[in-house]
Amino acid sequence: MKPLIELKGVHKYYGKGKQRIAAVRDVTFQIEAGETFGLIGESGSGKSTLGKMLIGLEPPSEGEVRYAEKALWKGQSFHRPRPGEIQIVFQDPQSSLDPRMRVKEIILEPLRALPRLERLEKGGEERLHALIRRVGLKEEHLSRYPHEFSGGQRQRIAIARALITDPAFVILDEPTSALDVSVQAQVLNLLKELKQERNLTYLFISHNMSVIRYMCERMAVMCKGEVVETGTADEIFRTPSHPYTQTLLASLPSIFRDKRVEANV
């Protein structure tokens, strides 16, 4: 079976000449359809830059980024698949939701990229109400503004916005790091349930090893723009091979390195 996502020798540079900085260097990995693939590293390691390349916000300087065997980038031009096929949930729902728009407008906004008939079908009232209930909100919330909600509720709105187009692949860029621990667990469990119900593929970007252990089947570890280790989450947590990964794991309680005990998030 062919992978859904392929990155081959991807580099990303900013600046020119002596001022050029490599944000991503020679990154290669694959994401299989239906899996949750974790990408972990410290702030500035390049993981969010990779997410931006996949969603069309940043072109790679070198290398290939492919979706379903087709190139996403040709030079500086992004060739997306079907509109809405790839979606993203950002880290901070307070800044990613337009404060001037009501919740209904926010959720329906991605449908503008779709053909008219598909837009009308997916934006129907019954379907919208079912979606808002599924993410744990109420129908009356659709007429309110983002500032009227808690952080966890705002992230549920962001999740609904990502799902309204029926995507196949969703990038989750630190989706719970701005939330309280108890709310994090609720949102993570919701994301797991939605993945199973909708047969989604996730790229889960995080700096939190315990969250990656809980969510992901496979993972890649990034350090200073490079992927230093790739494998199943179980293998990496049990026998990390790179010193950087070993350092990350050394700060965690042993419960997170034991596959017999579920990670406590």
CB 49 within 8 Å of CB 203? no
Angle at 255 between CA 206 and CA 250, to 5 degrees: 65
Angle at 109 between CA 49 and CA 123, to 5 degrees: 130
Identify any residues that bridge with 67 across adjacent strands, giving them in sequence order.
5, 70
% of the chain residues with pLDDT over 90 = 80
% of the chain residues with pLDDT over 70 = 95
Identify any residues that bridge with 173 across adjacent strands, giving them in sequence order.
205
Q: Which helix H or strand E contains 40, and what residues bound it?
A: strand 36-40
Chain segment 98-112, per-residue pLDDT in tens: 999 999 999 999 999
Would the pLDDT of 24 be above 90? yes
Q: How far is residue 173's CA from residue 176's CA, in Å, rounded to a whole number?
A: 9
pLDDT at residue 264 in the model: 42
Lowest mean pLDDT among 19-28, 179-188, 254-263: 254-263
Chain segment 79-98, per-residue pLDDT in tens: 988 899 999 999 888 888 99
pLDDT at residue 44 in the model: 87
How remote is the C-alpha of 263 from its chain's centroid? 20
Which string of DSSP letters, residue by residue, matches 18-77?
Answer: GG-EEEEEEEEEEE-TT-EEEEE--TTSSHHHHHHHHHTSS--SEEEEEETTEESEETTE
pLDDT at residue 165 in the model: 96
pLDDT: which is higher, 9 or 94: 9
Q: How far is residue 152's CA from residue 142's CA, in Å, rounded to a whole number?
A: 16
Would the pLDDT of 25 be above 60? yes
Q: Which residues contact 146 (CB under 8 A, 6 or more apart)?
A: 93, 94, 97, 98, 99, 101, 103, 106, 154, 157
Question: How far is residue 48 from each of residues 43, 131, 147, 203, measured CA to CA in Å?
Answer: 9, 27, 26, 11
34: region left, alpha or beta (phi > 0 left; psi from -120 to 50 alpha) = left
Pairing of strands 73-74, 218-223: unpaired
What pTM value is reported for the model? Answer: 0.91
Q: What is the mean pLDDT of the chain?
A: 91
- Listed in order, strand segments (DSSP E) in 139-256 are 169-173, 201-206, 218-223, 226-232
Identify any residues that bridge with 221 across adjacent strands, giving them in sequence order.
40, 229
Banded pLDDT at 260 (limits 50, 70, 90): very low
pLDDT at residue 16 in the model: 86
Chain segment 203-239, per-residue pLDDT in tens: 999 999 999 999 999 999 999 999 999 999 999 999 9
Chain segment 57-69, per-residue pLDDT in tens: 999 999 999 999 9
Q: How far is residue 79's CA from residue 72's CA, in Å, rounded to a whole number?
A: 5
Please tell me what DSSP assigns to residue 260: T
Chain segment 36-47, per-residue pLDDT in tens: 999 999 888 999
pLDDT at residue 253 in the model: 59
Q: Which residues contact 178 (CB under 8 A, 6 or more apart)?
A: 91, 92, 93, 94, 151, 155
pLDDT at residue 5 in the model: 97
